[in-house]
Amino acid sequence: MKTIQAYRFALDLTAGQERDVLAHAGAARVAHNWALARVKAVMDQRAAERSYGVPDEQLTPSLSWSLAGLRKAWNAAKPQVAPWWGEVSKEAFNTGLDALARGLKNWAGSRKGTRAGRPVGFPRFKSRRRTTPSVRFTTGAIRVEPDQIHVVLPRLGRLKLHESARKLARRLDNDTARIMSATVRRDGGRWHVSFTVEVERAERTPARPGSVVGVDVGIKHLAVLSTGELVDNPRHLVAAQRRMRALGRALSRKTGPDRRTGRRASKRWERSAARLGRAHARVASLRRDGLHKLTTRLAAEHGTVVVEDLNVTGMLANRKLARHIADAGFAEIRRQLAYKTSWNGGRLLVADRWYPSSKTCSACGTVKTKLAQHEREYQCAACGLVIDRDRNAALNLAALAAEFDTAGSGPVAARGADQKTRASGQVAVKREPGTAPAGQTGTVLPQGRTTNRVLTKAH
């Protein structure tokens, strides 16, 4: 099974190498800003000509927004715009132009309604001081050295890694991986190189192929499993809050930049801002590490994992819980489970966000109309069941897998809910695309909704 996978390593750059990388990132920014200014100028000119009644065939020729079109315009203008263009790799300019081409495509698709998701704004100019330095290489000499602690990139040469690249090197030596691109980026004060690799992965089977586990994520416990296991929420951001407040106060006492007067930040402000950035990067790294360990264990052990399609954006509107919800990383758990279950030969089923997993009794199926947030125990008035509400939700999620298997290739008859919870309805289960090599896929249907999709075998 071929998959696209990323390998990310920290770099130990010398002062000269860091200057070279910053020069490449600056070249990408220059190309991006020049092309964006050119696009805006052509758009404004055509709009002005239309306002004067100029026929469409006589308007100023439009500029192609594709990467090839932007690259052609840049190559024609770079001797005058950037006479130093030969000092950096052509991939630096390609990085900026590619980012602009994708931004324009997303903006156009969002305006036409052909792009799903939130509305996308028009691309903006990149600032030298506020933009994260980054450059991407897709051609040229990109390899891992035999000592496995050095990598070679075009024009940048031999760069030392902070950690061994033996996992990637082993796959390259066995011809089970092919490097497609390499991106050098500065995060939290440290430089990293990320390799996008096409990997030939061996077929795997979960340790318990027939096992089904429902996962209910939350704040008190990061995850409550239908097996009864409680995964504690480490709350890395809360633990680091005291230090971050101190660093933030120290930063506020320094002379920072002022865009209104053009004042530049002092060196002390820059050092203090770097310390605060490193603190945030450490929290993000700890959170990422914990989530990877949890999702890897679930995908490797259970054949079927069932989670909820949570409206995380709506949950963040609660100002009292927004920080804790963002710190938990609910969306990241689902994202990681989606590809890890596929890698391990399992499947991921996603229940509709309106499915009343917490309001439904896991024993008799009775659905409560209301369940207050402070009620931590579920008490069923019909059968007398008393159980932790998160455990009850996890059991209901696990039960959806049996209904999905029973349905075969048709819709599943089971309990469902809409925004105003009712006692019965029709639901099915949605599997993340690409998560099961030979599984099935469908969509959760709360009561009152319809769809023209049916559960089908995935190819």
- Please list the pLDDT of the chain residue by residue as tens digits (459 residues): 899 999 999 999 999 999 999 999 999 999 999 999 999 999 999 999 999 999 988 899 999 999 999 999 999 999 999 999 999 999 999 999 999 999 999 999 999 999 988 899 999 999 988 899 999 999 989 999 999 999 999 999 999 999 999 999 999 999 999 999 999 999 888 999 999 999 998 889 999 999 999 999 999 899 999 998 999 999 999 999 999 999 999 999 999 999 889 899 999 999 999 999 999 999 999 999 999 999 999 999 999 999 998 888 888 888 888 999 999 999 999 999 999 999 999 999 999 888 888 889 988 888 888 888 888 888 888 888 899 899 999 999 999 888 777 665 433 433 333 344 444 333 445 545 444 433 333 334 333 333 332 222 333
- At 149, list the tokens: 């602690």
In whole angstroms, how far apart are CA 100 and each of 37, 126, 184, 412? 11, 10, 18, 44
Burial 4-42 (b: 16+ CB within 10 A, else e): ebebebebebeeebeebbbbbbbbbbbbbbbbbebbeeb
Helix then strand then coil, % of the chain, to nearest 5: 40, 20, 40
Crossing angle of helices 90-112 and 15-51, rounded to 10° = 40
Give the separation between CA 365 and CA 381, rounded to whole angstroms: 11
18 is catalytic: no
**367 phi-psi bin (left φ>0, alpha ψ -120 to 50, beta other):** beta
Catalytic residue selected from 20, 98, 187, 216: 216
Instruction: Lay out the sheet containing 150-153: strands in order across.
Output: 134-137, 177-187, 190-200, 2-12, 157-161, 150-153, 143-144
Kind and range of the H or E element at 104?
A: helix 90-112
390 is catalytic: yes
Catalytic residue selected from 20, 187, 327, 390: 390
Read off φ and ψ for residue 281, nearest 5 degrees.
-65, -35
Decide: 201 and 343 in contact? Cβ < 8 Å.
yes
Predicted model pTM: 0.82
Catalytic residue selected from 308, 327, 352, 432: 308
327 is catalytic: no
What CA dihedral angle connects 121, 122, 123 and 127, to 10 degrees? -80
Crossing angle of helices 267-301 and 241-252, rounded to 10° = 160
> In terms of Cα–Cα distance, which of 206, 158, 218 is closest to 305?
206
Domains of the chain are 2-15+133-200 (no CATH), 25-112 (no CATH), 210-232+283-457 (3.30.420)
